Structure 1
Amino acid sequence: MATTTKDTASVATSAGQTREKSGILNQPRAVWAVFFAGIIAFMGIGLVDPILLSIAHDMGASPSEVSLLFTSYNAVMAVAMLITGTITSRIGMKATLLLGIVIIAVFSGLGGMSDSIWTLVGLRGGWGFGNALFVATALTAIVSLSTSGVTKAIVLYEAAIGIGISAGPLVGGELGAISWRGPFLGVAALMVIAFIALITMMPKQNSHQVQGAKKTSLLDPFRAMKHRSLVVFGVTACLYNFGFFTLMFSAPYAMGLDEHGIGYVFLGWGVLLAITSVFMAPKLQQRFGTVPSMSVMLVLFSLTLLAMGIWTDTQWVIIASVIFAGALLGNNNTLITTGVMNAAPVQRSTASAAYSFLRFIGGAIAPYFAGKLAEWYNPHVPFIVGAGFVLLSVLFVVLNRKHVKHVDEVGVAH
């Protein structure tokens, strides 16, 4: 019996080593199905950038009213993140992902047929609910199904984000040049393809697995916030997202380009975001640590926004700054997501829900705030205020470094 136990332990150790040594591209088909669907889902974040001006023109909407397309999307997503774990633990990961995809397809399709800015704002909120179900569950699914370990799985997830965010403005620009309705209807069609890919390639979760799984309570994300490390990362992301979504909303107004031009600029932004999130961020983390690397990226992002605020009327500065910011955001997104997954001794889905709730609060407030600042003062002010919030996020994480410095030690253990 002792020999058998020893052999079993040896096999388990060997399997664990094999798992960690698997390359990032050596993944099950299910992971690639979620990855593909994730790309399409994340298109929604940047999709409306190239068509903001067209929507404002056609619907007679002010900048602050158009900004609500981001606000409703992010606000609903933030709140919905709190219930994603509860839903997933009861119907399973696959069903939750498919439900999210269906909701995104329905609300984006209806958005493409709407005639009022307020109707469109409401439908974007519904889109945000579907995205919350998908996004939170996709991270858990990729980490759970991956054969390459937590860190590489998160890099793969961030790659899907990067590709989706970069493709979103490109699709938005090309289809938006025909009509602002095109991008909304395009996402609905792409979501149908994602649904087919997931339903055929992702293994079905057996009913006894769902029934036997630990049910997640609605209170679990709030209980998770008793861990200071999760709150530190969440508040840092909330403050940093003020800068992120200020750039997303305000830059198209400052560029002076048409739908095609805005789409290509944000394509360059997204490509750098994807490349750095996959290839550069893991190297920075290994060499300098998560928090020091995050802090440097955030300081550089704050300076970039400040430059945009000073030279708002200089087109090439705005364009170059947006593209350069992609590299900074790609690094930071991977670093902070990896930190969150290793931050607290709670289920990863619960940690993701708590963190995402705090994170998207910033994304909900920032666009409307930026639009109002531009109306009250001038186009320079939103960028400068955004830079201040990002700098505040650096100060916050540095002052609370003792609560999050352990994430690199946990990361090594994984």
Structure 2
Amino acid sequence: MSKNGHIKRDLDHVTARLKAWLPDGDKVTGLRVLSAGHSNETFYIEGLNRVLRMPPSTGGLLPPYDMPKQHRILAAVGAMQDGPPVPAVFEVCEDPEVLGDPFFVMEALVGEEYEYAAPQWLLDASEAQRTAMSTRWVDAIASLHDRPADEMPERHVSTRDYAENCLRMTQVPNGDPQLIRLLEDFVANPLATSGASTPVHGDPKIGNMMWRPDGTLVAMLDWEMAHQGEPLHDLGWALCLYNQPLASAGLDLPGWLQPEQMAERWEARTGRSSEGLDKYMVLAFAKICAINTWGIAAETGGRGVDLVVDLVGGDAAMVSRLISAVAYRGRLSVVGLSSGEAPSIPFWEIVPKNMAVLGVLFGAEMHTPRAHAMLERHFASAGVGKLTMPIAAAFPLAEAAAAHRFVEETRPLGRVLLLP
């Protein structure tokens, strides 16, 4: 990869410093980006066949990104009897002077993660293979919940604490009042627990599982939100992604265990009841909205954004969330109706913001002189460098598959180029 818009590091410099610091650094020949975005950055250490993990170089969505903590958690989970599979961990460095940030080195595993698009091997799999895969997924989650809480070397988080953490993320200038009221209710009326506390992953979605094409679960990844607490938080988080478009690739395929089946399997494996799971799923969705609220506030200094462009056009589930992101006197532009839905616009949400909502169907004007003049103007601006397109990454044409994975896994801001 020649460029990555999310990474603000000199990778040649990082490579040289890593070679000098690692005991077997003389084997290192380079670094290859595996993932980057609003979370941790991971790089394949070429020549050493290991993985380097660092905090996001652009700030990240939910700091702090504690590398020693993640190293400590992976080591603890790897030592659990019959626990979920995780990569082995090696060196850890807390000194930011070495590479620019704290970091650790872990095992390089062979497998594939997916979240926004199902890989072809999953589409081609039989129903029985998909049932086996989804069973391995819920079994991995349950295996963590079978362990005593003190095997997770992190603090305890009660159901009330969990809701309070979510509520704090919404208390920003552009916070959504309905979301705030919902989370305030979860704080005032903490969810009932299923029993004694256990280790909790914090984010066991399908996108944090690594697979082989034969359906083998290679590893459960991304443990930065792990803690001791109520295991139904994990189950609710995993299951809330069903039946909606966010990070749910493959969950609707024939043979894949559905939420009721997943809950039954989890109950059988843990010996616990999943009573109240529906409320945990609501809280999980509220947490997703809270994270988005926090991210928008952090990126815009609390104002919200001046312009939101809905390129799907008419997704009823997204309308209120998009409006909540708009700044005072901002605009929401809805492009087309590719969702196939015709949602209503809640006027009580747009009037207090003095905002504008604009519908756009360019096909109706594509052949008009006005449209031609607009295109000529934009092409001319691009030609002199006044109008630029953000480039997130560039890949050689021979690495087209890697480019597709990059788009699916990081959802980059800007175009991804294939270079002949």
Bigger radius of gyration: 2
- Shorter-chain TM-score: which interval? under 0.3
The TM-score normalised by the length of structure 2 is: 0.23
Bigger relative CO (Cα 8 Å, ≥ 6 apart): 1
Structure having the larger proportion of residues in helix: 1
